[in-house]
Amino acid sequence: GNDNRRIIFNLPPVLSTTDALAFSPQVDAALLVLEDGVTTKSDVEDTMGRLDRTSVVGTVLNKSRSAMS
């Protein structure tokens, strides 16, 4: 087999639906996507708490205002 295969699931936000939480036991890791100016520290803390058994390997800052300047 090919050990370099990766499958990426683009799921709705953890705080909005249960889709990501339903998938979390089946995945090896998660990548959080944060929206600049919208996602709060509290949102991140709540999300990390809900994904407590899922390894979060990084974050992506989406819609960054500094990138649009």
Kindly tell me if the per-residue pLDDT of 10 is higher than 70: yes
- Provide mean pLDDT across the span 44-61: 94
Whether the Cβ atoms of residue 32 and residue 58 lie closer than 8 Å to each other: yes
The pLDDT score that the predictor gives to residue 3 is: 76
Handedness of CA 41, 46, 10, 16 (dihedral sign): negative
Task: Give the DSSP H or E segment for 58.
Answer: strand 55-62
pTM score of the predicted model: 0.79
Please compute Rg for the chain using Cα positions: 14
What is the rounded CA–CA span in Å between residue 54 and residue 67?
30
